Structure 1
Amino acid sequence: MSTHRFLRRALVVSATLGATGLATAGIASAHVTADVYGSQPEQGGYGAIVLRVPNEEEQAGTVKVEVTIPAEYAISSARTKPVPGWKAEVTKNDVVSKITWTAQPGNEIPAGTTSYQEFAFTAGPLPEDVDTLVLPAAQTYSDGTVANWNQEAKGDEEPEHPAPTVELAQPSGDGHGHGASAEQASAESEGSAHAEDTAPATSDTTARWLGGAGLAVGALGVGFGVGATLRARKQGRS
């Protein structure tokens, strides 16, 4: 094999390794999710939930986000954490049915696939007979397109547009279950603000490191291969 052909093949391998690492990191966070940064919400108590919304359209930004609270959960109270540049509205008829965030002009989640926004809220009392909250979400783009994240998983297979979900813990009696209040849940959300800011950055840094590591491994392979080839050629001349 000639040196030039070897170099081309090695460069293809290294590029594939790096691209695979970066692509995997992107796929893992491609849909709207519901996250918990503080204590896990408990059945019968109040919980702090963070809706993470990535933009997925190259030519349009996200201008509205809606999360539906199923009526059977009978959640009577919900509060939103202010998001600069966004207006929040809680829809309630006896029970909370929907929370809507609307971007003010110039504050939408930017077009492209590299930006996201988080929307935190507290809700309760949470249902006592449900293990997993399913919170269908709708994401509206500036071009009028609406992405509905409302499909429930069946078995271990994840649907194409999965609804955000939150696992509920059994009541522990330590203040996060039946006795927890909306104020306590809100305080937990505020107390975990630092985690909200740093967790995504850590995830992004890890993804970049993995991609860089793939490229580095490929580059090392190129270096070793070229060195071995040159030594073999030199010995052949001798």
Structure 2
Amino acid sequence: MSVSRTSSSSSSRLSSATRVALAGGIALSSVVLLSGTAFAHVSVQPQGEAAKGGYATVNIKVPNERDNASTVKLEVNFPLDHPLASVMPQPIPGWKAEVTKSKLSKPLELHGKKINEAVSKVTWTADGSKIGPGQFQQFPLSLGQLPEDADELVLKAIQTYDNKEVVRWIEEAKDGADEPQNPAPVLKLSAASGDHHGGGATAPSASASGDAKSGHDDKAGAHEEKTAAASSSSSDTTARILGVIGILVGIAGVAFGVLAGRRRSA
């Protein structure tokens, strides 16, 4: 009777463990699938900061979503309601970049000059390369001057495969709504900073550099003195220890000699 109950209990525990493992596997699979879907979109990622009124370097990240086709063309469109006077693609081996400009209805002023046209599109076409299945490619761009009156820039992209399939990443997300199936890449702009060229902190002045160098030398000298003192102290301590050991060895030798002499006398 007890054997039957034990067997039933073990089966119950095994069944529960199996259900938990199965549920965990399904949950993990769902997470992986959803993650793959979320990261499969064409996106724009700044390298460092993309501040309002400044300049920035960004990467247009293009994953290949097809198992039987390769990406051979990418077109990125720039909004003319917040025009960018300068958009420069970085050369990429195996890809040809073409920059298209359009006339502005309202001239753009940059560095005291009026500009009547701005970049409206950059197109990359495969020229000996491609984005194969299971691969992605980044297309770097230098942008500027970023608008001061916008929180983001929507860069609508069009991806073309070698089987003539075209995917339009042009859908804009709406507040409170689910993410669209083919969302457009969005470049978030941070608050304006003092440095409008996207650089870091300014270099120190010559006097400040000299003072810093002098201070560094003083600290280095003090450090060397401390090191030398520590080394000297360590040497003295070692010498003392060796001296004590030598005395103890000598005493032990004398004692051994006396003891040996007594044994011979006996």
What is the Cα deviation at residue 82 of structure 1? Answer: 2.1
Aligned residues between the structures = 175
In 2, Cα distance between the equivalents of 1:24 and 1:37?
Answer: 26
Q: CA RMSD in A?
A: 2.4
Given that 2:59 and 2:138 are in contact with CA atoms closer than 8 Å, whether structure 1 keeps it comes out as yes
Matches within 5 A, 1:1-238: 6=15, 9=19, 12-39=22-49, 41-93=50-102, 94-105=117-128, 107-111=129-133, 114-157=134-177, 158-173=179-194, 175=195, 177=196, 180=197
DSSP 3-state at the match of 1:73: coil
Distance 1:73 1:65 in 2: 22
Deviation at 1:8, TM superposition (A): 6.3
CA–CA distance in 1 between the matches of 2:83 and 2:141? 16
What is the alpha-carbon distance in structure 2 between the residues aligned to residue 22 and residue 169 of structure 1? 31
**Counterparts of 1:162 and 1:21, CA distance in 2:** 20
- Consecutive unaligned residues in structure 1, runs of 5 or more: 186-238
Percent identity over paired residues: 40
Taking the aligned partners of 1:85 and 1:61, their CA distance within structure 2 comes to 14
The range that moved more, 55-64 or 78-87, is 78-87
Give 1:37 shift: 2.7
| SS of residue in 1 equivalent to 2:92 | coil
**Displaced runs of 4 or more, over 6 A:** none
Cα offsets for 1:111-149 (capped at 9, x unmatched):
3xx221111101111122111101000000111111001
| TM-score for the superposition, normalised by structure 1 | 0.66
Which structure 2 segments of 5+ residues have no match?
1-7, 103-116, 201-266
Larger Rg belongs to: 2
Q: TM-score, normalised by structure 2?
A: 0.59
Cα distance in 1 for partners of 2:136, 2:99 equals 22
C-alpha distance in 1 between matches for 2:38 and 2:173: 16
